[in-house]
A and B are shown apart, each in its own frame.
Chain A
């Protein structure tokens, strides 16, 4: 049963990216916008509007940098192309929509599902650890963004160069914070899990 559920989730992910990310609907901006709206409502109903909007807010620096380069490339008609702006807008919708979609659909995989998988205990530990760490990472992302917005040395400087440097520094800090957090959290969760498993085994012998 668990395997069927996971296969269904995997199929939904492949279908989503197959249709919207790489397939026939990729260039359909209205479809992309509708998909974004749908996954946002779905995720908000599963969690809360605050969490969903927090995730979207976390993607804003990346979207802003995408837009910036899209406009520059469009103005420069890079490689003779005139569709840079349209292509950038699509990517600006796909990026948050994919993140929200993945978070929403992966939330249906529970720890019990992982435990019931026909895998070795070590592999199940790995999957549980990854799920636990990323779940915490998702929760921490909004808080990290909020903290970083307050540090005086990351404040925006005048002019567009200053604004760009500020966004880049903030975004880099966010990614690095998340990386450091996930690195420690993964290690911590794995050790905790192994420790508890060992005690349970000792207790049952």
Chain B
């Protein structure tokens, strides 16, 4: 599936994004590393553009949000409803079970997951058999994030502030040539 290039309004963040190139998701193995300053709409882009598109296409995905502490309640509860007794599991083990329960997922989105346990490397290692596209927002080293997918084609999406006028930030999303 494809997120077409074009303009995307994110009114709740007062951001207008200009996506310069199409994003191809789950067509082939790939990793997208997203970087950019705070407040440029990276999370909103995932939650208001990418994830709704995945839902419309009924493309199974897994998303770990920035508020993973809050999200873990839903993971623990939903897995318990599936009949898995998870009361004593650590958060890291809980996420491993969550991944194992979701082999249908084709896209894994991690929003600033660098700061949580287990680290993204573990999550990628545990999901490589079924995930075809990783999308990661990071404030760390993009090369380190890119290295997680090994020899898979990797793309770097940079969020740049172009202009801030009339209370709206115009942000350009540049897609750099695939890393080799």
Question: A residues engaging B (CB < 8 A)?
Answer: 50, 140, 143-144, 147-155, 169, 172-174, 176-181
Contacts and interface: CB of A to CB of B under 8 A. Distances in A.
8 contacts: A143-B71, A147-B63, A148-B78, A150-B55, A150-B62, A153-B82, A153-B104, A169-B78
Q: Ordered nearest first, which 8 A-B pairs have the shortest CB separation?
A: A176-B77, A173-B78, A177-B77, A152-B60, A177-B73, A152-B104, A152-B102, A147-B74
B102 A153 contact: yes
A177 B82 CA distance: 13
Contacts of B75: 151
Contacts of A181: 70, 73
Interface residues of B, number: 24
B101 A150 contact: no
A143 B76 CA distance: 15
Nearest to B51: A150
A143 B102 CA distance: 20
B81 interface: yes
A154 B77 CA distance: 12
Nearest to B87: A180
Contacts of B82: 153, 169
Nearest to A50: B12
Contacts of B36: none
A146 B70 CA distance: 12
Contacts of B102: 151-153
Tell me what chain B mostly uses at the interface: helix, strand, loop, or mixed.
helix
B118 interface: no
Interface of B: 12, 51, 55, 60-63, 65, 67, 70-71, 73-78, 80-82, 101-102, 104-105
A150 B61 contact: yes
A173 B101 contact: no
Contacts of B77: 172-174, 176-177, 179-180
B88 to A, nearest CB: 14
A17 B84 CA distance: 40
Contacts of A140: 70, 73
B145 to A, nearest CB: 22
Contact of B81 (A143, A155, A169): A169
Contacts of A148: 74, 78
Contacts of A155: 60, 104
Contacts of A50: 12
B78 A151 contact: yes
Contact of B73 (A149, A151, A180): A180
Contacts of A169: 78, 81-82
A145 to B, nearest CB: 9
B74 A144 contact: yes
Contacts of B78: 148, 151, 153-154, 169, 173, 176-177
A173 B71 CA distance: 12
Contacts of A144: 70, 73-74
A148 to B, nearest CB: 5
Contact of A173 (B12, B70, B74): B74
A147 B78 CA distance: 10
B23 to A, nearest CB: 18
